[in-house]
A and B are shown apart, each in its own frame.
Chain A
Amino acid sequence: MLQPQMEITVDELRQLVSDRAVQGETMLLNMGPQHPSTHGVLRLLLELDGERIVNCVPDIGFLHTGIEKNMEAKSYEKALVMTDRMDYLNNLGNNLCYCLAVEQLVELDVPPRAQVVRVLLTELQRIASHLVWLGTHALDLAALSVFLYCFREREHIMDIFELCSGQRMMTSYFRPGGLWRDLPAGFDEAVRQFLSLFPARMQEYESLLTENPLYMDRTKGIGAISTEQALQIGLTGPALRATGLAFDLRTARPYSGYEEFDFEIPIASNGDTYDRYIVRMEEMRQSLRIVEQALDRLPKGPVRSNNRKFVPPPRSELGHSMEAVIHHFKLWTEGFAAPAGSVYLPVESPRGLLGCYLEGDGSPKPLRVHFRTPSFANLQAIPILSRGHLVADLVAIISSLDPVLGDVDR
């Protein structure tokens, strides 16, 4: 059931704006792609009546990188590196999504230790992503200091990633069949230190925003959407959960062993900017719980599958096993072949439903790779969320959806 206000007809899109703009009654304002608060290179065409938004047309494609197309020209293992660069705040999450899809396509096993480590690091990544969101969201509302506090904590997480993989952002740490290598010494202490420090820091952010009348005034009732509308346009992630629907793939369709962890899916009821904030803040707490549980139960054992047809052998074997040399050579020159067929595997990214569609054709390179990215789908909500609000609210609405433009234009 479409609400009258959310109908965007083809005509409207073709002309982009209403008749009033043609007659000069309303002002057309181009916001972006170079604008401080469009979170990258998003361009919005605004039709304004005074400062009130009559129409808002998002325009994307300024960060098109051709990642999906590029991946078709690489072997399955090499294509992994490109996923880091898609949603650059959820690198490990993208790795995970892609690895799970490849593993499903070629029916590859993942050892339990690798699964738990994947969950642990993905949840840390979720916290890091939400921290960047919180910082930029607050910055868009001119609460300057929160931004720097958030980045201070994010730096801890980045350090942990660097410890594991040698990279802060483009980690490529998850590989089909497990991990690149085992966790380093000192990982446990580093994560425990973060766990003990972070709850107090969360308190700090909340004391600056949650009960702040100025903040509540800027966000309550701004950009509200109902569950029904949200589902119609494919809104997922915290924005959907803020409308009251506890849909999270980690519980709805568990992957990588999420079903073994004890955590809650936070929801809110109004679906406005403030609720999206509340949901994300609570998600950080829940992620912290998952990280703690994962760290406590971290099983011993290998971190890569023993299936030598897909996972290269350890270097130590190369010196005395001819078979290992052959596997190594084959995997690093040709790569492994995947059978003809396709898989679609959705996971829960910090922004919502991230799905990887892979189609194999029996060769070592994928025939088609496609990502259903949450930022892209969520961006559709901006015209609906912003209609009738002020320009100042638009900034809050954009940031409350947390779009990552690298995720929009693959």
Chain B
Amino acid sequence: MIDLLEWTLESVGIITIVLGGFAYLTLFERRVMARFQTRIGPNRAGPLGLLQPIADGIKLLFKEELIPDQADKLLFVLAPVITVVPVVLLMAVIPFGPDLTILGRRVSQGLAPELNVGALYILAIASIAVYGIVIAGWASNSKYALLGGIRSSAQMVSYELALGLAFIGPILLANSLNMAEIVRAQRGIWYVFLQPIGFLIFLVASIAELNRAPFDMPEAEQELTAGYHTEYSGMKFALFFMAEYGKMIAVSFIAATLFLGGYWGPFVERLPILGPLYLIAKVLGMLFLMIWLRATLPRLRYDRLMAFGWKVLLPLGLLNVLVTGSLIVALG
């Protein structure tokens, strides 16, 4: 009974982080981008524009839900759901802090950080989202959406490999697939210092996996109007939006967990409740980096993106795994 309560509370916490985080990440992005671009950004709704996400949400809720005549109705409605659900699931294995002892009961911070195949779980769940995008592109029965869907499936499948290889570095170093174990192993030194190449590969591959600028080919506004979600409106569009931004948050959490020492920071041992704060600070740093890239860089071309993924990132990832493995064997 008490277990169930714990899981429920933790799940609610994670869903709040993803959904609330999504809403405020849009505001964060708009405000930060505005500063980059010598603008002010949304600051009218509430103090500092803090009510802007709510206003946007209400607007989208009341928008007409259009389903194109030629669309495959079932798949058209299903696609946003398939895209958004994995994003929430991804966060389940993130350890938010060291275990707490509340009323003599050991409570983990996070839903299932001790899952023994945590890293594999992340890779597996992250791949599901691509189905949503492909189906959206197909079901819309629109050429722009189709092009967007095809681009994204090719892109995500290609970069999944590099992403997987980037995971292997921390896994080898920690000798575990358990996310909590990987964080515990970073107590002395963050893996970003042991695996600088691995971190870079992870960064590039995950941004490509997210379809974020400069790798936002699938929804390249200037070419494909809006890519796979061209035909979507109202809440269904909001779900795609939510998936993209939720995934940004999830990937930032994963990056922080695998490479940036997770919840570690000064005084965490004495005060385990500080863990989540450090983790969120690192996540904010990652998010800022992504927004910064978007504000600065032009978009890559689709064929160059594929070439880069297969000819540069993949061999580099393999080499990184090889060197890491050899060093671990050689140094014991």
Which A residues form the contact surface with B (CB < 8 A)? 27, 29, 35-37, 51, 138-145, 147-149, 152, 208-209, 212, 214-215, 217-218, 390-395
Contact = CB atoms under 8 A, between A and B. Distances in A.
23 contacts: A29-B143, A37-B223, A51-B302, A138-B298, A141-B298, A142-B298, A142-B299, A143-B297, A143-B298, A144-B33, A144-B295, A145-B36, A147-B37, A148-B39, A149-B38, A152-B38, A212-B297, A214-B298, A214-B299, A217-B304, A218-B298, A392-B302, A394-B223
B147 A391 contact: yes
Given A142-B297, A148-B39, A393-B301, 15 more contacts: A29-B144, A37-B222, A142-B299, A144-B33, A144-B213, A147-B37, A209-B298, A212-B297, A214-B297, A217-B301, A218-B299, A390-B302, A392-B220, A392-B301, A395-B223
A160 B296 CA distance: 30
Contacts, number: 78
Interface string B222-243: 1111000000000000000000
B221 interface: yes
B296 A145 contact: yes
A140 B220 CA distance: 9
Interface in B247-285: none
User: DSSP class of A's interface residues: helix, strand, loop or mixed?
Assistant: helix
Contacts of A393: 301
B216 interface: yes
Interface residues on B, range: 20 to 34
B283 to A, nearest CB: 23
Contact of A390 (B39, B222, B225, B303): B303
Interface string B281-317: 0000000000000111111111110000000000000
Contacts of B296: 143, 145, 208
B169 interface: no
A142 B220 contact: yes
B225 A36 contact: yes
Candidate in B147, B299, B304 with the most chain A CB atoms within 10 angstroms: B299
Contacts of B144: 29
A378 to B, nearest CB: 20
Interface of B: 33, 36-39, 143-144, 147, 213-214, 216-217, 220-225, 294-304
Nearest to A152: B38
A215 B38 contact: no
B147 A145 contact: no
Contact of B38 (A141, A148, A212): A148
A142 B39 contact: no
B309 to A, nearest CB: 15
A140 B225 CA distance: 11
Contacts of B224: 391
Contacts of B143: 27, 29
Nearest to B226: A36
A140 B222 contact: yes
Nearest to A34: B225
B271 to A, nearest CB: 41
A212 B295 CA distance: 14
Given A27-B143, A36-B222, A390 B37 contact: no
Contacts of A144: 33, 37, 213, 294-295
Candidate in A144, A149, A209, A215 with the most chain B CB atoms within 10 angstroms: A144
A395 to B, nearest CB: 5
Nearest to A29: B143
Nearest to A38: B222
Nearest to B217: A392
A165 B162 CA distance: 59
Given A51-B147, A142-B216, A390 B298 contact: no
Contacts of A212: 297-298
A98 B284 CA distance: 57
B51 to A, nearest CB: 25
Nearest to B37: A148
Contacts of A395: 222-223
A56 to B, nearest CB: 14
Candidate in B217, B222, B300 with the most chain A CB atoms within 10 angstroms: B222
A352 B216 CA distance: 34
Contacts of B147: 51, 391
A363 B277 CA distance: 82
Contacts of A36: 221-222, 225
Contacts of A208: 296
A152 B303 CA distance: 34
Given A141-B298, A217-B301, A218-B301, A149 B37 contact: yes
Contact of A145 (B37, B299, B304): B37
A144 B33 CA distance: 9
Contacts of B222: 36-37, 139-142, 395
Contacts of B301: 217-218, 390, 392-393
A146 to B, nearest CB: 9
Contacts of B221: 36, 142
A357 to B, nearest CB: 36
A162 B221 CA distance: 34
Contacts of B304: 217
A300 B244 CA distance: 62
B197 to A, nearest CB: 19
Contacts of A217: 300-301, 304
A36 B223 CA distance: 8
Contacts of B38: 148-149, 152
Contacts of B216: 142
Contact of A214 (B295, B300, B303): B300
A14 to B, nearest CB: 24
Nearest to A138: B298
Contacts of A145: 36-37, 295-296
Contacts of B297: 142-143, 212, 214
Please give me the 5 A-B residue pairs with the lowest Cβ-Cβ distance, nearest first.
A142-B299, A148-B37, A141-B298, A37-B222, A143-B298
B36 A215 contact: no
A55 to B, nearest CB: 15
Contacts of B294: 144
A27 B303 CA distance: 19
A218 B302 CA distance: 10
A394 B213 CA distance: 19
Nearest to B146: A27
